[in-house]
Amino acid sequence: MVHLLFWIIGSSLVVSAISLIGVFFFAMKRNMLKKMLLIMVGFSAGSLMGGAFLHLLPEALENTKALTVFTYTLIAFAIFFVIERFLHWHHCHEGKCNFHAFTYMNLIGDSIHNFIDGMIIAGSYIVNVPFGIITTIAVIAHEIPQEIGDFAVLLYGGFKRAKALMFNLLSALTAVIGAIVGYFISSSAAGFTDFLVPFAAGGFIYIAASDLVPEIHKTNKLKESAFSFALFVLGVLFVWIFKMIFSH
């Protein structure tokens, strides 16, 4: 069983390393990066909504009653709302209100999502190693557009590039924790994921609808708005395409 744990931890580390994809944006000049941020935020909003409605919720509905799934999703939405309100109040209480709390909301939601990915990887390796490898490849495929969007959200929220990369990596490393937990409690992990999957979906929906889409609406130029919407649709399509390719 030791070699199996080695496969599980190794695969989850590879998945976590996808979060370092933001390093490719380090060489970009500041002015060019600023121009791309709104574009990337549109893509991120689409990938978050696509991830919630096309990936997480359908997965949750396969094993859990619809009423339970949507109840957990609403609970997550409400919790994220309360946390964000608290973060805004705490900052504005000191007389400054330019704090982008949604960056931390995104980190929380992505950490839960990555934790679930780790548990899924562990469960697949317990079936057999080839199935675990196939599952890991599928997880990597849907993480690539997700991590690009997450890195963009952190930059747009005011993080420096190095800080955004570091926090994105820390968030991604919860996949390793999830993989280890999944390995040791594989017999009872299904009930835990029944809650976490729709909970992560609720967090993604809140971040996209409440924080990212309003940021896109701040532009008054029709051309920029249309382009941002096109990137939003592209983000959704990316998630859908990867799901179709790796769902069988």
Is residue 23 a part of any domain in this protein?
no
Is residue 29 a part of any domain in this protein?
no
Q: Are 139 and 121 in contact (CB under 8 A)?
A: yes
Number of domains in the chain: 1
Q: Is the pLDDT of residue 66 over 90?
A: yes
Q: Are 54 and 238 in contact (CB under 8 A)?
A: no
Least Cα distance to 244 among 132, 140, 138 occurs for 138
The lowest-confidence range among 52-56, 143-147, 150-154, 177-181 is: 143-147
Is residue 206 a part of any domain in this protein?
yes
pTM of the model: 0.67
Is residue 17 a part of any domain in this protein?
no
Is residue 105 a part of any domain in this protein?
yes
Q: How many residues does the chain have?
A: 248
Is residue 4 a part of any domain in this protein?
no
Percent of the chain having pLDDT more than 70? 79
Q: Is the pLDDT of residue 96 over 70?
A: no
Calculated CA dihedral for residues 69, 74, 79, 81, nearest 10 degrees: 150
Residue 209, judged by CB atoms within 10 A of its CB (0-12, 13-18, 19+), counts as middle
| Cβ burial 151-184 (10 Å sphere, 16+ → b, else e) | bbbbbbbebebeebbbbbbebbbbbbebbbbbbe
Write out pLDDT tens, residues 19-62. Answer: 887 777 666 666 666 666 667 778 878 888 888 898 889 888 98
Is residue 131 a part of any domain in this protein?
yes
Domain that holds residue 210: 37-246
Is residue 202 a part of any domain in this protein?
yes
Write out pLDDT tens, residues 189-246. Answer: 556 667 877 887 888 888 888 877 887 787 777 777 788 889 899 888 888 887 777 6
> Where does the pLDDT of residue 118 fall: very low under 50, low under 70, confident under 90, or very high at 90 and above?
confident
Q: What is the pLDDT of residue 5?
A: 85
Q: What is the pLDDT of residue 91?
A: 46
User: Residue range 155-175: average pLDDT?
Assistant: 85
- Cα atoms in the Cβ-side hemisphere of radius 13 Å centred on 119: 22
Q: Is the pLDDT of residue 167 over 80?
A: yes
